[in-house]
Structure 1
Amino acid sequence: MKLKIIKTFIFSIIFFITFGRAFAAEDLLGAHIYNELGVKALQDEAIDSAISCFEQAHRFAPRNSTIKKNLSAAYYRKGEIEYTARRLSYAERYLKVSLENDPDNIDALFLMGDLKYLSQRMNEAKEMWEKVLKLNPNHPNADLVKEKLDKLEREAKVEKDYRSTGMDRFDIRYSREGVRLSYNIRYYLQEAYRLIGGDFNHRPNNKIVVLIYDKTDFESIGEWREGAVGVYDGKIRLPLIGADFTSDRIRSIVWHEYTHVVIGDITKGSCPIWLNEGLAKWEEFAQLKGDLSLLKRAVKRDEGIPFKDLDPTFLDPADETQFELAYQESYTLANYLIRRYSKYKIRKILDRLGKGEPFESAIRYELNLSTAEFEKRWMNDLKAGKLY
């Protein structure tokens, strides 16, 4: 009986060694097959399929570093897509998994730094970007990362002691001197979220950081255009502490900058500057009518900026008069579109821009117009005094 037990035990060991090796080989073979399928899917931009294949390969061979790097790359690509689509919470979720599988994935670190920065988690953003430079000082984006770090350092120095007022959709930050002003701005933002959201049938899902500065602090953190009373660069920045503005003027500035948030969200950052600024001016002027005397004189003298030159004028604000004229012209272009074709059509055009279509294609499809005909009709109404 004892001999039989020993023989059985020895047989079990031989079986385990022999067939265990076969199972191990089968696992490695399965990992290889699924990894190859994942690589092909990733190349074809079938990201979900790639993730599924790499996950299965990882289950077969959990310690294989190549598979983990491929899985990281797939999750990074998924995060990048969500980031571009302005679904930032999803983007962060996928990038987190990417970095769990490969903590040295430079692309994921770079983009995660952007996400941390946009949500005002400055120390975490700094850590991500510094790691990019540490891993590869000669990375193609090294100069951009250095610029981001320099800007972050300037901002953090100013904003480190700012107070915060939390809201569902806004994270409002300000110095001690901005406490009272912050309450007004909070109310104006709530208005804008509801009413501008209604105008464009869109309300962003991401929480927006709003920073309220005095003029000195505002000018110390960026090279803004002289006289700027607001900026949106992923965060709304308002140099309004100590400014001698009426409540209507402050409201109009808030509405202008929040319109940029909405337009950027719909178009995924692909809106022509003149349309972006024109619609922001349209919402601003709805709160406080602006001065269009510069444009009226230019139209009378036939000295307006040609339509094709509006965006280049915004990009080179050296001539303050031309810059202001570009703003006023852009307002009348937006006004013409809304009066003649409705906000609904504006939204349809913005949707097309968000899908990567150029403006020329979008208005041809939605308005059955060429840009030349569009410019001609706008100019006719402008000269007739219908758009002031």
Structure 2
Amino acid sequence: MKYILRVINICLVVLTLVFSSITSAIELPPKDVYAGHTLIDDWDVEAAEQFTDSLLKKHPKSGDVYFLKARVEFLKGHHELAAKILNQVTGNHSEVREFKSLVNNTFEETKLFISSESEHFIYRYKKGPDEILVHYATEVLEKSYKVLGEIFNYYPKEKVLVEFYPDRESFSRISPLTLDNITTSGTVALCKYNRIMMISPGSLVRGYNWMDTLSHEYSHYILTKKSRNNLPLWMHEGIAKYFETRWRNNDIYLTPIMETMLAGGLKKNYLIALEDMMPSLAKLKTAEDVQLAYAEVSTMIEYLTQAHGDKVISTLLERLAKKEPFDLVMSDTLGMSLAIFQKKWKHFVKQKKLKTIPGLKPPGVHFKVDRMSEESNKEYREIDDQKSRDLTFLGDILQSRSFHKAALIEYQ
């Protein structure tokens, strides 16, 4: 979840004089600075690398070029190299400091990671319990590569980098999310910096639906690449949520909690405006708002695809990649403005006869204090509410005896 705004390019051009040189007073032309950052923001890594390397030959002492080069290497997953290159960049502007901090933190958190590969993916993780994730991640992602590739008409040529972080602390240090953002929103994975990053399910008391989440984040990767990072956040999240179960031949995307939140929101006339979802759903104030937002945007995609078919998404992405304004693309492709689309969506979703489960709330995410502990009941004790703890324990007993439906009732 999680995207660079185009306005940062303008800021970076303005910053040219702040860190433009290492040992030389020669400045890089602003148009070259802008062009380089645009390619990087598009995640067009190959073109960005070629462009930056050509600039290095012309301006071998320009801090601007080294900053661009560091961004390129960071997108390629070369964290240590990016950190070393940034040592060549002077200046104390906030954008420089923040990027240096991000790169250095990422290098520190991943320097002991080991890696393995499947046909289309590269996995990095800490040696130990998380090694088992690779087997299942490969199944999810290779299926997603085929299924989502057909839907979106896009198959990445490069291998996609996937990083598993052992806990929320390390995940917070390499992402824009604070620990409070993670706990409040339940965000446990991101697609950012040209890769997928995920908290290990082993660090949570009850784990989480990490396989669908992995496919969800891969959708974000495709959407960013194919649209050249020009797809609005709300549609990004709606598409990723709507298609996150397709890898396992399942088209049921609306969870009971999402359905309950949306039904309640419609009844109370309380909905999350699309502009209020920026810059990320993970930044919304409550877990209820996060689930409501997901319900809104995913049902919008259901309405969109029912009216125009799944392939309409590929058409939208292709036009956005040409830098066409979203409102124009929306109007031309769907035959209506965004305002009319939202009005028709609301009518559509009200016809779905959404069900409400009284008292149902987002379960939240509960992290282990020490994931390596061998105490058998420790995980239950870390669930604060006594009733929730007892129901979880009962659900586990029923699950172990293959009473799956009964267990589900207790979990809910």
TM-score, length-scaled by structure 1: 0.72
Residues 26-65 of structure 1 aligned to structure 2 (within 5 Å): none
Instruction: Tell me which residue corresponds to 1:265.
Output: 225
In structure 2, the partner of 1:379 is: 346
Match of 1:120 among 46, 55, 77: 77
Separation in 2 of the partners of 1:167 and 1:91? Answer: 26
Deviation per CA, 1:111-158: give whole Å up to 9, x if none: 21111112221222112222122xxx26xxx32121111122222222
Q: Is structure 2 residue 263 aligned with structure 1 residue 296?
A: yes
Q: Is residue 216 of structure 2 the alignment partner of residue 256 of structure 1?
A: yes
Distance in 2 (CA, whole Å) between partners of 1:236 and 1:313 is 16
Shift in alpha-carbon separation, 1:330–1:73, aligned structure 2, 3 A: closer
Does residue 158 (structure 1) correspond to residue 109 (structure 2)? The answer is: yes
Deviations 1:173-219 (A, max 9, x none): 00112111112112211111111111100122333221112224323
Where 2:163 maps in the other structure, the secondary structure is strand
Structure 1 segments unaligned to the other structure (5+ residues): 1-64
Q: Note the C-alpha offset of 1:308.
A: 5.0
Q: Which of 334, 359, 378 is the aligned partner of 1:367?
A: 334
Residue matched to 1:240: 200
How many Å separate the matches in 1 of 2:173 and 2:275?
A: 34
CA contact (8 A) 1:69 1:101 kept: no
User: Any idea what SS the aligned residue of 1:212 has?
Assistant: strand
Deviation at 1:297, TM superposition (A): 1.7
Aligned residue pair count: 316
The alignment status of 1:175 with 2:126, answered yes or no, reads yes
Residue 75 of structure 1: how far off its partner (Å)? 8.0
Deviations 1:258-281 (A, max 9, x none): 010011112211211110000010
Say whether residues 1:231 and 2:198 are aligned partners: no
SS in 2 for 1:176: coil
Tell me which residue corresponds to 1:110.
67
**Partner residue in 2 for 1:215:** 167
RMSD: 3.1
Give SS of 1:284's match: coil
- 2-side partners of 1:273 and 1:265: how far apart? 14
What is the aligned partner in structure 1 of residue 6 from structure 2? none
2 CA distance for matches of 1:338 and 1:352? 17
Give the equivalent residue in structure 1 for 2:155. Answer: 203
* Structure 1: distance between partners of 2:50 and 2:123: 24
Shift of 1:329: 0.5
1-structure distance, mates of 2:292, 2:156: 30
Query: Is the contact made by 2:201 and 2:207 (CA closer than 8 Å) also made in structure 1?
Result: no
State which of 140, 146, 150 in structure 2 corresponds to 1:194: 146
8 Å CA contact 1:381–1:387 kept in 2: the answer is: no
Identical residues among aligned pairs (%): 24
Preserved contact between residue 201 and residue 210 of structure 2 (Cα < 8 Å): no
Tell me which of the two structures has the higher relative contact order, counting C-alpha pairs closer than 8 angstroms and 6 or more residues apart: 2
Task: Identify the structure with the greater helix proportion.
Answer: 1
Task: Kindly name which structure, 1 or 2, has the bigger radius of gyration based on alpha carbons.
Answer: 1
Q: 2:312 aligns with which of 328, 336, 345?
A: 345
Residue 94 of structure 1, CA deviation: 3.1
Does the C-alpha gap of structure 1 residues 120 and 240 become closer, same or farther in structure 2, counting only changes over 3 Å? same
Is structure 2 residue 287 aligned with structure 1 residue 320? yes
Check 1:188–1:245 CA distance in 2 against 1; reply closer, same or farther (3 A cut). Answer: farther
Task: Report deviation, 1:78.
Answer: 6.9
In the alignment, structure 2 segments of 5+ residues that lack a partner are 1-23, 356-412
Query: CA 1:92/1:169 → structure 2, altered by over 3 Å: closer, same or farther?
Result: farther
1:87-98 matches, cutoff 5 A:
87-98=44-55
Q: Partner amino acid for 2:100?
A: L
Please identify, of 370-379 and 236-245, the stretch whose mean Cα deviation from structure 2 is larger.
236-245
2:222 maps to a residue whose letter is V
